[in-house]
Amino acid sequence: MDQEIQDLISLETKRQNEGIELIASENYTSKEIREACGSILTNKYAEGYPHKRYYGGCQNVDAIELLAIQRVCQLFNAKFANVQPHSGSQANAAAYHALLPKGGKILSLVLNDGGHLTHGSPVSFSSHLYQFIHYPLNSMGKLDYDEILKIAQQEKPDLILAGYSAYPYAIDFAQFKNICNVIGCYFMVDMAHIAGLVAAKKHQNPVLYADIVTSTTHKTLRGPRGGIILTNNENLIKKINSAVFPYYQGGPLEHIIAAKAICFKEASSAEFVKYIDCVIKNTKACRDELFKMHAVVSDTDNHLFLLNTLDSYQLTGLQAQMLLEEAGITTNKNMIPNDTLTPKETSGLRIGFAAITTRGCTQEEAKKIAYLIHRILSKEMTSKEAKKQVLALTKNWKKIEEL
Ligand SMILES: *Cc1c(COP(=O)(O)O)cnc(C)c1O
């Protein structure tokens, strides 16, 4: 009936199948998850929470939402969960609202060092409703807990925020919790990027330390596009629930909540642990190969690393992103710690392996990709030549439709 949209989805399927997707925040969902997203559950209004809805006919969506809550609590060892946030940003908005009065003071990472827009950017609601102050990374691009404590003692925030969009190292939540205890403030973790690693027990679990943990479900967790909020505090879950609905959102997306429930089941399997293990190994393999070729790269403990394109290839992040895109390799420009350029240009790229590992990328292939990136950015290979090699690589991998 709608040929225009059908054709565009077909083109996007082709793009996803034929490209090397290295955007660290993306992934490919299973067919089961996509089917739930496209199911008849989208027809149902269910404002409120299971057994406390504003509409009739909610018995089935109640059971679905309760299952999602039960599974996510078990997966992350949490007592309480809200699975309704439409995205990670909505989850953060609701979490701030549950913890702080308007104007409350939040200490978060310098945005250019890897923070998210909702962590106090001038273009986000967050900076308009709350007062943000920031801690920087040290000259090695790492968290400096002594420095964070010092800033916290001077500034006396109401809340300290950890969890980032472009931080390639493990985060020590226990140290953050100690700092919060010294100051007597709340501790919140936004684990949007590393939720899959936490689920697979390849990263410290923030639920053990933080008052509130927020996350997306569509990054390393490999679920549908959406958000979640976790806590062990019975008083806080009540505030979280009323912050999500009715304060920030209307009717929940029960089709997406069903897909989240499937995602939590998948993420608790032995296969998922193996997958996350491969993601970490592939990321390290690509990073080490670039390092061997004298590129300036961060190290990595997780699913991503940063490539300094300015010092490595005399290219801005934007130029590098465009060159790679011509060859069918998708990345995103990213600020690197102590960046001298603007966020529109940047001095680097963020490179992640969560998505293509789902398609079956091996460590050998991750090294080949490093070689391709190096040859393209050094202009030793035209994008036409590179594109052929990209196609040959992606032919080996699982198709998006079959996953
Ligand atoms: C991706 C991300 C978010 C928000 O995700 P959306 O679903 O795009 O709103 C929040 N926090 C961090 C750290 C993220 O990386």
Same domain, residue pair 246 and 299 = no
Based on the residue annotation, tell me whether 45 is a catalytic residue of this protein. Answer: yes
Ligand 1 neighbour 214 (Cβ under 6 A): no
Residue 94 CA to ligand 1 center (angstroms) comes to 13
pLDDT of residue 134: 97
Question: Which residue, 267, 291, 306, sits at the end of a domain?
Answer: 267
Same domain, residue pair 200 and 166 = yes
User: Using CB atoms within 10 A of its CB, is residue 377 exposed (0-12), middle (13-18) or buried (19+)?
Assistant: buried
Residue 143 lies in a domain: yes
- Nearest protein CA to atom 4 of ligand 1, as residue: 88
CA 263, CA 124: separation in Å to the nearest integer?
29
The active-site residue out of 65, 113, 190, 301 is: 190
CATH number at residue 391: 3.90.1150.10
Based on the residue annotation, tell me whether 219 is a catalytic residue of this protein. Answer: yes
What pairs with residue 160 in β-bridges? 107, 187
Residues 100-113: tens digit of each pLDDT:
999 999 999 999 88
Same domain, residue pair 329 and 218 = no
Ligand 1 neighbour 254 (Cβ under 6 A): no
Query: What is the residue range of 375's domain?
Result: 270-402
pLDDT of residue 387: 94
- Nearest protein CA to atom 5 of ligand 1, as residue: 88
Whether residue 116 has pLDDT greater than 90: yes
Same domain, residue pair 260 and 241 = yes
Same domain, residue pair 118 and 42 = yes
Residues 272-293: tens digit of each pLDDT:
999 999 999 999 999 999 999 9
Ligand 1 neighbour 163 (Cβ under 6 A): yes
CATH number at residue 160: 3.40.640.10
Same domain, residue pair 133 and 233 = yes
Backbone φ and ψ for 204, nearest 5 degrees, come out as: -50, 140
User: Amino acid letter at 315?
Assistant: L
pLDDT of residue 34: 97
Residues 41-75: tens digit of each pLDDT:
999 999 999 999 999 999 999 999 999 999 999 99
Same domain, residue pair 185 and 228 = yes
CA 215, CA 229: separation in Å to the nearest integer?
7
Same domain, residue pair 35 and 130 = yes
Distance spanning both ends of the chain, measured CA to CA: 27
pLDDT of residue 338: 85
Structural domains counted in the chain: 2
Output the average pLDDT for the chain. Answer: 97
- Nearest protein CA to atom 3 of ligand 1, as residue: 88
The active-site residue out of 34, 225, 281, 367 is: 225
User: Using CB atoms within 10 A of its CB, is residue 254 exposed (0-12), middle (13-18) or buried (19+)?
Assistant: buried
Ligand 1 neighbour 116 (Cβ under 6 A): yes
Q: What is the mean pLDDT of residues 148-175?
A: 98
Reading the block at residue 147, the tokens are 């420095």
| Contact predicate 165/115, CB 8 Å | yes
- pLDDT-derived band at 383 (thresholds 50, 70, 90) equals confident
Based on the residue annotation, tell me whether 225 is a catalytic residue of this protein. Answer: yes
pLDDT of residue 306: 97
Reading the block at residue 131, the tokens are 């007062």
Reading the block at residue 339, the tokens are 């960046």
Same domain, residue pair 141 and 219 = yes
Residue 19 lies in a domain: no
Question: Which residue, 267, 288, 312, sits at the end of a domain?
Answer: 267
| Contact predicate 110/136, CB 8 Å | yes
Same domain, residue pair 253 and 274 = no
| Contact predicate 177/170, CB 8 Å | no
pLDDT of residue 191: 98
- By three-state DSSP, how is residue 171 classified? coil
CA 320, CA 311: separation in Å to the nearest integer?
12
- Enumerate the H helices of 206-328 as residue ranges: 234-242, 254-267, 270-292, 309-313, 317-326
> Tokens 């590098």 identify what position?
320
Residues 314-332: tens digit of each pLDDT:
999 999 999 999 999 999 9
Ligand 1 neighbour 165 (Cβ under 6 A): yes
pLDDT of residue 357: 98
Looking from the CA of residue 87, the nearest atom of ligand 1 is 7
CA 48, CA 58: separation in Å to the nearest integer?
10
DSSP structure string for 215-237: EESSSTT---S-EEEEES-HHHH
- Enumerate the H helices of 144-253 as residue ranges: 145-155, 173-183, 195-199, 234-242
Same domain, residue pair 87 and 70 = yes
Q: What is the mean pLDDT of residues 27-39?
A: 97
Question: Which residue, 216, 244, 267, sits at the end of a domain?
Answer: 267
Same domain, residue pair 66 and 156 = yes
Ligand 1 neighbour 216 (Cβ under 6 A): yes
